[in-house]
Amino acid sequence: MDISLRMISGVFSFYWMFSSTLYTYLLLLLSPLTYASQSIFFELKTHPHSDSLHRYEFTHPQMGTVFRLVFYAESKIQAQNAANQAFAAVDSLNASMSDYLPESELSQLCYTAGLGKSVQVSKDLWEILKLSRQFSRKTNGAFDVTIGPLTRLWRRARNLKELPDSVKVAEARQAVGFENIRFKKGKKIELKKAGMRLDLGGIAQGYAADRCLKILRQNGIHRALADAGGDIALGDAPPGEMGWAIEIPSDQSEGLNSSQPHTTLRLANCGITTSGATFRYLEAGGKRHSHIVDPRTGWGLTHRVLVTVQAPDATTADAWATAISVLGEKGWEKLKRKPGTLKVWLSEAPISNL
């Protein structure tokens, strides 16, 4: 997921989401593996609110983006301890789920693809893969974490600034298919086909944001927001507010340079994210191919999709935003069983018009 939302003094701006993601992309190019562990602390307001809560903000680079926590706590000690626990959990999830790190749990699992081996995995990896299978089924394969062979091929193509060979795309496509992940008793996973590679980039950040929010709640902090590079998990509203203020353009078809008025959403206890084929693309052969690859065809999208999804949690919002970006307007309209818990803002245009 690749587009972000902005927060100014407690108000998240749609435009910040995109500028933050551009910054994230530059960081990814410079350091494709991971960031050094660190956290940055800000106390935004020192005066207590009516319920004796202070507002705090913490940031932490990880998973190729910057995690941001904003919440209201009774003391700096409570705030710092909770933030430290949340960021430690994010680091642990990254060590388990990164497809960039050769020593990660995910990578180690992929090394067994096609060997007929069943590998016992951690609770988190088991859970996120089970959730991913559900999303794959609900989206008719538009969301598929087995897309790894294709994303690796397209990463190389963007670095070389040339389209991948069609034969190699077809070969990589043969190793893609969520139905080739076999779940067995005892949290054991078997990857049935040789060459399978898993890529959790379309769901892991949302999952991590939800984990941060859960940890904050366990520490008695309920008025909270966890932002994983634009995949946002929202807890209870700030003191005296109906919800966290989230702004999106009233007409998303106008794109980033829109001068149209914004729609402000007041949200609490849900997840929201934005995804789209907007900034990162490969221009070759007279076309622009997005960094978002359709797992069903093996090719980068050639249509510009901008989609915002509100869901019960950030994991669900993240996965569906990825899927709807692939489906596009027509695919989304044709999808028969749309979850009633989702709210979707969607626009589409040819990438060449950007």
Residue 122: name the closest of 206, 193, 186, 190 by CA: 186
Q: Edge-to-edge strand order for the sheet containing 270-276? A: 40-45, 54-62, 65-73, 224-228, 231-234, 270-276, 303-311, 343-350
Query: Across the chain, where does the E strand assignment appear?
Result: 6-8, 11-13, 40-45, 54-62, 65-73, 119-120, 181-184, 188-191, 224-228, 231-234, 244-249, 262-267, 270-276, 281-284, 287-290, 303-311, 343-350
**Burial (Cβ within 10 Å: 0-12, 13-18, ≥19) of residue 221:** buried
In sequence order, which ranges of 193-235 are alpha helices (DSSP H)? 204-218
State the Cα–Cα distance between residues 65 and 73, nearest whole angstrom: 25
Question: How would you write the pLDDT of the chain (354 residues) with one tens digit per residue?
Answer: 544 443 333 433 333 333 443 333 333 333 332 222 333 333 343 334 445 899 999 999 999 999 999 999 999 999 999 999 999 999 999 999 999 999 999 999 999 999 999 999 999 999 999 999 999 999 999 999 999 999 999 888 877 788 888 999 999 999 999 999 999 999 999 999 999 999 999 999 999 999 999 999 999 999 999 999 999 999 999 999 999 998 775 555 444 344 455 678 999 999 999 886 555 556 666 666 677 889 999 988 777 778 899 999 999 999 999 999 999 999 999 998 899 999 999 887 665 544
pLDDT of amino acid 39: 38
pLDDT of amino acid 284: 63
Phi-psi region of 108 (alpha: psi -120 to 50; beta: other; left: phi over 0): alpha
Q: The whole model's pTM is what?
A: 0.83
